[in-house]
Structure 1
């Protein structure tokens, strides 16, 4: 429930829970929101540089130009606005207590709320591994699952991936500086739900006004299939270690992964293999129990966080070299005829 003071809402993640699509909707409707007195500041879809500045960190070893001072500039814009405001980037979710405290205390005289979008680990774990590959990781899927599940030590004790994916621990860190009721969890609905269900839950959690929003049908950051992800991982393995981060992002993540390999399912969709499912179920139950006891506000249903394993899912261990070769040739063939300037002579 919002009070009388202007509200600042921080949408802090989690990664791979529809955040990119939600940020795209917010950016597309920035002017409409302003007409209703609601500020979504900046010009980009999300507040990546601002989040890095708040955390005083780079991204995978790279410090981005423009990040320094970005948080203070964002805060200045919010405080100059006489009305509610919304900030969004999933990098914030895994923050430690020091930047969380600074983030909450950056808005004196405002009522701060935190929103966390989240979905079940049966969908999250494959997506997190795939996103890691898109960003340069080369660990195999099996080793990723074995290591990640083995690192779970209980709610609130997580490091690495669990700092951003242990929902109960994440909520507790933000609630250390807010009333727990101001920490909102928005569950991603099960597969097959209506395309706007997540948006409507998010709109409720953030207090966005009722309006005629432009909401695209397709997700902004869709997943690759199992074959495509394993192909990308093997390509990344063969790249030099010193590829600059901007070059990697432009050529590998954007051009190859998000333009050529995405939306293909040559060998089915990635899932959690049977041997790992009991651990995923046990961890999920602990997280949900922590959320129920935390006093947080839930939009949707915590039952949505029960792992939804797909019987038709596949894993990279099941991918043959022939499948990888076929997919690689399909990607390579169009490049042969691409027009390029002839620099000879």
Structure 2
């Protein structure tokens, strides 16, 4: 017998995130399992692990350096795949869909068609999301200190406004309500991650998509590790100097596309301090999570997982946000500088024009070698 969460065989599924809720690991599993999915009547519609451009286009969230025409083309291609006649289940996953406002959701549903359209929302406690979203902001040329960020998003009357997309994404009950208003609560599924079971998320999607057990859970998960306190602070200070030099967001976006891999490839030492969210912020996030869970219970959507976990994060026993490290060791500084050099080299290589084909006046090395070999052979024959 099928699970009550299993969608119909002709369903089109949008997984909308939001950010920092296991999206990278899930998208990695879906990408790796394409052949197995197809054999079971399911198609993953991202041509790569994550076709972010399509979602960024329809939500108006293009970033510096992105090709608008290419992004629009990706969305149009997705619409074509979603709307053509097919007996397969189809799924598209992008956390950037959680950035959609009401009018944009209406446009998505209008272009895709409401019939057999399902929406899956993945959730984890807000207290766990706070440091990850802060770090993401720092990787977008952000300058705020963590304590300032926490007060901006958690104070009832913050002195500084929160990042503009934060509550669009992370007022989780409102996010779910917006999408349910357009597709119906009976076609919205909320998956609450289980911190003690990393296989819960892929198993939940196996259930939703009617897949054999372990089709997704057996894949090697790709996950983005959190940055250490020192890494975040060095990058924040770099951002300040980058802006002081008058360098713009377009260059930063292209630079970070290369530097991010260097950043995430580092293995922090066991004693390196991680970012800590203080007691007051965790307690406030738990209150918000408790209210969201109550509204989700009453909303009529299907829930997989424990809604109570959204408000169950333990206090760390730290009264105030720890100060960022004032200095780093020379090995760390050398590693950071080497990453800058590698990123600059990749940027230059990407901008270099392709080599011109060899002309008669300037023969290529291969032509020179061939002529030399002919001369050698000719000498031997004589």
Give the TM-score taking structure 2 as reference length.
0.76
Secondary structure at the aligned position of 2:25 is classed as: helix
Query: Residues 39 and 83 of structure 1 are in contact (CA less than 8 Å); yes or no, is this contact kept in structure 2?
Result: yes
Query: Conserved in 2, the CA contact under 8 Å of 1:224 and 1:269?
Result: yes
Partner of 2:359: none
Which of 165, 171, 185 in structure 2 is aligned with 1:166? 171
Of 111, 117, 123 in structure 2, the residue corresponding to residue 106 of structure 1 is 111
From 87, 92, 98, the counterpart of 2:92: 87
Q: What is the CA–CA distance in structure 2 between the aligned matches of 1:48 and 1:337, rounded to whole Å?
A: 27
Task: Answer whether contact 1:39 1:78 (CA < 8 A) is retained.
Answer: no
Name stretches of at least 5 consecutive residues in structure 1 with no aligned partner. Answer: 341-345
Shift of 1:266: 4.6
2:257 is matched with 250
Distance 1:314 1:21, change over 3 A: farther
1:226·1:265 contact (CA, 8 Å) conserved in 2? Answer: no
Contact 1:228 1:266 in 2 (8 A): no
Q: Is the 8 A contact 1:270 1:314 kept in 2?
A: no
Query: Paired residues, what number?
Result: 330
1:39 to 16, 37, 43: 43
Report what 2:236 is aligned to: 233
Q: For the Cα contact (< 8 Å) 1:51–1:92, is it kept in 2?
A: yes
CA 1:231 to 1:65, structure 2 compared with 1: closer, same or farther past 3 Å? farther
Match of 1:297 in 2: 302
* C-alpha spacing 1:301/1:5, structure 2 compared with 1 (3 Å): same
Classify the secondary structure of the residue corresponding to 1:318.
Answer: coil
**Gaps spanning 5+ residues in structure 2: where?**
346-382
| Alpha-carbon distance, 1:309 to partner | 3.4
Residues in 2 aligned to 1:43 and 1:129: alpha-carbon distance in whole angstroms: 29
Match of 1:321 in 2: 326
Q: What's the CA shift for 1:294?
A: 1.1
Q: Distance in 1 between matches of 2:102 and 2:146?
A: 31
Q: Confirm whether residue 49 of structure 1 aligns to residue 56 of structure 2.
A: no
Q: Does 1:259 align with 2:237?
A: no
**Backbone CA RMSD of aligned residues:** 3.1
> Per-residue deviation at 1:307?
4.0
Stretch moving more, 163-172 or 196-205: 196-205
CA spacing shift, 1:333–1:105, aligned 2, 3 Å: closer
What is residue 343 of structure 1 aligned with on the other side? none
Greater Rg over alpha carbons, structure: 2
Residues 9 and 87 of structure 2 are in contact (CA less than 8 Å); yes or no, is this contact kept in structure 1? Answer: no
Instruction: Select between 232-241 and 174-183 the one with higher mean Cα deviation.
Output: 232-241
Bigger mean CA deviation after superposition, 213-222 or 32-41 = 213-222
Q: Would you say 1:150 and 2:144 are equivalent positions? A: no
**Cα-to-partner distance string for 1:215-246 (whole Å, 9 max, x where unaligned):** 44554212122222222222222214415254
What residue number does 2:375 align with? none
Query: Paired residue for 1:27?
Result: 31
Shift of 1:65: 5.2
Alignment equivalent of 1:281, drawn from 286, 294, 304 = 286
> Any idea what SS the aligned residue of 2:136 has?
helix
Structure 1 residue 174, shift from structure 2 partner: 0.3
| Alpha carbons of structure 1 residues 204 and 39: separation in structure 2 relative to 1, 3 Å | same
Residue 15 of structure 1 is matched in structure 2 by 19
How has the CA–CA distance of structure 1 residues 310 and 235 changed in structure 2, closer, same or farther, with 3 Å as cutoff? farther
Q: Structure 1 residues 138, 329: CA separation in 2 closer, same or farther (over 3 Å shift)?
A: same
Moved more, 166-175 or 240-249: 240-249
